[in-house]
Structure 1
Amino acid sequence: MNRSGKTLHAQKLAAQFGGRITYVATAEPGDDEMRERIAQHRAARPAEWQTIERPMHIGVVLVRCDAEVVVLDCVTLLVSNVMLAAGETAATAQVEAQVRREIDNLLDAWHGAQFNMIVVSNEVGMGLVPTYPLGRTYRDVLGRANQQLAQAADEVIFMVAGLPMRVK
């Protein structure tokens, strides 16, 4: 059973669009739990969908993509991957700039493309304020990345308890 239903809803939307579908997964199998989650996600996707597993530099993938629909799952892990690559001692401004560059490159590739794109992300700013500086930086940087993507999107859906709520 999935948690909020974001990925399942994204997959249903992609299937409704039809055509060639490319699924870009940003998760990395860092431990047994993540390996199991990734395996479950793979098994849940139709076999005819192309899957590209890439933790960062999504714009490079999108530029070369010939699909009619792209599902990016998920920005939450993409931002985490960029932050981890920067290192725990990286300055907040440096991390913010690297994430912004990643999202800018993604948007540039998306806007220059001929496919529909479905982007999955989490809204982590609605929870408790993290007690550690790195956690607060992550929450803030992801929140700004989500805002940037939402502004560029034609439609934004917020998933709550498996129910889609149209925001834009």
Structure 2
Amino acid sequence: MAELITGPDGAVVDGVLRLGIDGVVGAAGYEVTTTRTPSGLRYDIRTPTGEQLSWTAPAVAQRTLVLGGARSGKSTEAERLLAGHADTVYVATGGDGSADPEWAERIALHRARRPASWGLVETIDLVPLLESPGPPLLIDCFTLWLARVMDECEVWTDHSRAAEVERRIEHLAEAWTATTRLVVAVSNEVGSGVVPADAGTRLYRDLMGRVNATLARRSETVLWCVAGRTIAI
């Protein structure tokens, strides 16, 4: 009887046929066909004795975007996805909270629930991080990143400067696409409620939609969090 043993790097049939996460190392007498599925790469194997085996290598998502509304559970889900990586670097885009006691309290709660081994970088300069090799990144979040980029570009007072923000969004998307790191990022979906009354907030809403749509198209996995439940979209 054929023996199939699985491991973190793939599977082995009868100790000779190796099935990788994304490819096969052949062995004489074995017939192998592969099929791309939503769950990953499926191997169908016919052994020299005529036995039929099947194994699916789980899909590897290098870029995961976690979306949701306020308090939907998106940050918790992002942290869960990287819980097994002790060297994860948490990238905080919202500042240190020193000027706002309520915000500082939120930051403290986030820090308390993260693994002590995780690193921390507080910045909105995300492109160099994405472009450099290194351990996994958890970016939390693109919503605050956009608000602070709009501050830097003085878009709130001069809406004509939105083109500079769009340029930064495109640079971010290029770095996100090309990164060699495992990366999970959080972002708010802000366009499902009432239309904002002022032009600046409407512009922010539209740019936030641009960020989410652009990065979602360039991600292997996009998750939607609502009421603490997570749905793949």
Q: TM-score, normalised by structure 2?
A: 0.64
Deviation of the 1:46 alpha carbon: 0.7
Alignment match, 2:139: 72
Listed as ranges, the matches of 1:3-152 within 5 Å are 3-16=71-84, 18=85, 20-28=87-95, 29=97, 30-54=99-123, 56-67=124-135, 69-87=136-154, 88-92=156-160, 94-95=161-162, 97-152=163-218
The runs of 5 or more residues in structure 2 that have no matched partner are 1-69
Alignment match, 1:153: 219
Q: Tell me the secondary structure at the aligned position of residue 141 of structure 1.
A: helix
Q: Deviations over 1:1-50 (max 9, x none)?
A: x821000000000124x352111110122411111111111111111111
Deviation of the 1:111 alpha carbon: 3.4
Deviation of the 1:142 alpha carbon: 0.4
Amino acid of the structure 2 residue aligned with 1:60: P
For residues 177 and 71 of structure 2, the distance between their equivalents in structure 1, rounded to whole angstroms, comes to 31
Q: Tell me the secondary structure at the aligned position of residue 224 of structure 2.
A: strand
Deviation of the 1:118 alpha carbon: 0.7
Q: Tell me the secondary structure at the aligned position of residue 230 of structure 2.
A: strand
Deviation of the 1:91 alpha carbon: 2.0
Greater RCO (CA < 8 Å, at least 6 residues apart) = 1
CA contact (8 A) 1:23 1:50 kept: yes
Q: Tell me the secondary structure at the aligned position of residue 20 of structure 1.
A: coil
The runs of 5 or more residues in structure 1 that have no matched partner are none
Taking only aligned residues, the RMSD between alpha carbons, in angstroms, comes to 1.7
Deviation of the 1:98 alpha carbon: 2.9
Q: TM-score, normalised by structure 1?
A: 0.87
Greater fraction of residues in strand? 2
Structure 1 outlier segments of 4+, above 4 Å: none
Greater fraction of residues in helix? 1
Amino acid of the structure 1 residue aligned with 2:128: V
Amino acid of the structure 2 residue aligned with 1:13: L
Percent identical across equivalent pairs? 39
